[in-house]
Each structure stands twice: as structure tokens, then as C-alpha cells.
Amino acid sequence: MLAFDTIAHRLKRGCETIAYPKGPAPALPDRHGGGLRVEAAKCADGCAACVPVCPTEAIARAAGGAVALDLGRCLFCGACVAACPSQAIVRTNDHRLAVRRREDLMLGAPGAEEARLAAALDEKLRKLFGRSLRLRQVSAGGCAACEADTNVLGTIGWDLSRFGIQFVASPRHADGLLVTGPVSRNMELALRKTWDAVSDPRIVIAVGACAISGGPFAGHPEVRDGAGAVLPVDLFIPGCPPHPLTILDGMLRLLGRLEHDRKPVTLAS
């Protein structure tokens, strides 16, 4: 009887896994805002109102130069958006932020108003990892925020395993590492040993501002300012923390399961 009630309950609830990527992506929370767009041409001469409000010094503007925003250091707090009088920096409501190269997170130059979305791995690696990607997650001094949003992907609503992507307990069973945290000095050796235990070919995914640049801890003598200082990184997923949809989107792009070209999005008001 109990088994029948359980089956009946599941049938009543139906499929609760999101339809993405075959269906539309779920909307981001209003307070999230998605990625940022920087149109330096809109900056008023001599204006640098956005620079001092950034908590991680992700924004810079040299005298006589254009404003530049480093999404790899950005916490997406929105302080710069609120401070900019000319709306040169705006939210896009776009969850797509993952890139293959660190420099692709630098915004402000002509043609680099938004992050350049990640291209897929080469054909050989896509054939190898495309249907079965195993990742060992390493929290290298993280606060557990990025780790929590990564864990969300394993819930019934996201079901990361339907794409053949799974987190494993041992690096010897892994195809690569997913790194969170600024890589503290105490975790550097552990991270290197975990990397050494992964067989070639192998990949590294840096998730969150801390793993990309050190985030709010950048420059502190007890951190290495991100995974890139220790390991070769194949995918950078910015955020503090990145939304689970952003993380999933980046992984699927890396495996060649999403189109590289950016589709138009509606900017936040």
C-alpha cells in the first residue's frame, strides 16, 4: 500500500526537472540582475563615480581613458550600476557569463561591452568528455556560497547527471577539477595533489570571483588570488556566487551543447 501511495504521489507531481536547455531558461530572481554591460562611450568626461564604490576594485578608469570593468573580480553587488549617472554600466538579466579566457572577462573596450561567451573544447576532447564528464570539486578556502550553488545542480530540479556530468569523490575517477575559493596558502598543496591525481587529459573549471581572481581577498598574502595562479584553467564562471543556471550554462558550452553566439537579451530597467 505504501509503495502504491508513493508511486501515485510521484505521478501527481509529474516531472519537476527544468526543461532547460531544450526549453526556455528559468527567469533569474529580480535581485540577481544577471551579467553587466559596459558602454564606455557613454561615460561622461572626467566621471569616475563608479570607481570608489566597487568593493573589490574591479572597476578602473585612468585619467583621460575609458572605464574598464573586470567581471572576474566583480561581486555583482550593483553599486556601480546605482552610482553611474549616464547608465554606462547596466544589468542585462542574462545568466550567460562563462568564458574560456581570463581576458574575456574584461569589459569596456569597443567590442567587449559584454563577456565573450565560452567556446567549446576541441573536437577530440568533446568526443572524450561529451557524454560522460566526471568532476572532483575542490573548495580551496571558499565561504561555501559557490559550493552551495554547485550542489544545487545535483537536486531534482536541475539533475546535472542527465547531461552525463557528475561530481565524484576521488580525483582518480575524475576528468577534471571544479575549483571554488581564492586558493588559500593552506589549500594550495592539497589542490596541486588533487590535480596530480587526475589522469590526462584533464580540465579545470574556476567557479566564482574568488576562484577566478581572489575576489574580496585579492592581494592578501595568505591567498593565491585564484586557481589560475596554480593550475591551467579551461573555463571561468564569474559571480559571487554564480547562479546555478550560469554554472550549468558554462559547463554545457564547454562540452559544445549550446550555441556559442549570443542571443539578444532584454536589458534590465
The domain segmentation of the chain, as residue ranges, is 11-269
Q: Per residue in 114-126, pLDDT tens?
A: 999 999 999 988 8
**Averaged pLDDT for residues 2-18:** 71
Alpha-carbon span 144 to 58, nearest angstrom: 22
The predicted model scores a pTM of 0.90
Alpha-carbon span 202 to 196, nearest angstrom: 10
Query: Quick one: pLDDT band at residue 261, thresholds 50, 70, 90?
Result: very low
Average pLDDT, the chain: 90
Q: Per residue in 156-195, pLDDT tens?
A: 899 999 999 999 999 999 999 999 999 999 999 999 999 9
Domain 11-269 has CATH 3.40.50.12280: yes
